[in-house]
Amino acid sequence: MRHYRIAILFTFAVFFGTAEAQQLSDSAQVSLLTCGAGNQLYSTFGHSAIRICDPQKNIDAVFNYGTFDFSTPNFYLKFARGTLRYMLSVSGFNDFLQSYRYENRSVYEQKLNITHAEKEKLFELLVENYQPQNRSYRYDFFKDNCSTRIRDILQKAVGEKLSFSSQNTNDNKTFRQLIYPYLEKMQWSKFGIDILLGMPTDVRATDADYMFLPDELSKNVDTATVNGVKFALPAEVLYSAHEVSTSSPFSPNQVFFIFMMAVILLSFAEFYCLCKNKKINLQIFDRIFFAGIALISLVILLMWIFSLHYPVRNNLNIIWLNPLYLYIFIKLEKSNFYILLFCIACNMLVLCGHHFLPQHFNTAFFAIITASTMRLMMMIAKKRIRIS
């Protein structure tokens, strides 16, 4: 977790809570800061924060709900289980801006057109949130994150007169569709996300739900009104990132299509050799292939059962990434005929019926499913040839 310098007066206000220290002057300004995407997966979707700037009080602080501590014991296990605590942190504005310059991430500022009383209310709520007993929370990517927290605290500070326009009503997008544009240059990350996220990711998002994305929060703040008056001034560019190419030279679609074609050719070659009473041994390949499928299926199953992240539940990838592949990996050519047939049927269900299933499947999956089906059919063919 980054450590920032905080103005002495602000620190006094937060930790000692005197009314005089917390009071903002008439020159105070409140802004929404929206930061662009980074190169790491956790920063792919951007970031939101609130800036409180009061020159008369020597305050220029950024409230950031997206902070976590990498040094937390069992960090990755807690992250996977959904028990990792995120927290509200406070930093000096210059430090905040410099860190995003260093990461080459754009920063935009929208000054909020609210009354002094509303600024005071918002500042009071933020200070209250920053108290040690209040600052941490259980992160939820879609429902409770750095953007939704800001959406909610702005609504609480300004009240019902703050009206976000229903600009997304006709889009009717799912959560998965909303995150896809951010993953265009990260096809392998998109592939992994599509493996792990289940049916809850394909639920249609409401207008309020859209604001889990910092860009969407910024758009909604830009069009929002308070008693018919615009809620925010036009966005100002504080830092514009320079373009950097991060895309992989080979996409999952390309890699797995080549893999599928290789498996099909090998399977036909094996079948030809069997018919000619010649031997070709693909057992090592099959063991590695089915072991990989079995391992991923177990990860999906464990995440479904033990993780508190609700988007990983009800994951229909379990149909083709079937735990029965663990049995096939162990038994291989001695596998039960009906289990092999059942796995083929599961594969065909996804291949032929994916349009009717309530979950989106990454197109690269179909190449893997086809390859898996070919190997399963060869195992059945070999049993039949031996019997005859």
Instruction: Please write the tens of the pLDDT for every residue from 17-33.
Output: 444 445 899 999 999 99
Res 287: pLDDT: 95
Residue range(s) occupied by CATH 3.90.1720 in the chain = 8-169+207-239
Instruction: Please write the tens of the pLDDT for every residue from 94-143.
Output: 999 999 999 999 999 999 999 999 999 999 999 999 999 999 999 889 99
Determine what percent of the chain is predicted with pLDDT higher than 70: 91
Q: How confident is the model at residue 350 (pLDDT cuts 50, 70, 90)?
A: very high
- Locus of tokens 């990260």: 186
Among 353, 380, 372, 176, smallest CA distance to 256 is for 372
Do residues 181 and 44 touch, judged by C-beta distance below 8 A? no
Q: How confident is the model at residue 81 (pLDDT cuts 50, 70, 90)?
A: confident
Task: In whole angstroms, give the CA distance from residue 345 to residue 102.
Answer: 52
Return the higher-pLDDT residue of 39 and 27. Answer: 27
Tokens of 285: 């390949």
Instruction: Please write the tens of the pLDDT for every residue from 269-315.
Output: 998 888 888 877 899 999 999 999 999 999 999 999 998 889 999 99
Half-sphere exposure at residue 112, Cβ-oriented, CA atoms within 13 angstroms: 32
User: Domain 8-169+207-239, what architecture?
Assistant: Alpha-Beta Complex (3.90)
Q: Is the pLDDT score of 9 beyond 70?
A: no
Task: In whole angstroms, give the CA distance from residue 124 to residue 52.
Answer: 11
Q: Is the pLDDT score of 13 beyond 60?
A: no
Task: In whole angstroms, give the CA distance from residue 158 to residue 230.
Answer: 13
- Segment 249-256 mean pLDDT: 93
- Please tell me the pTM assigned to this model: 0.87
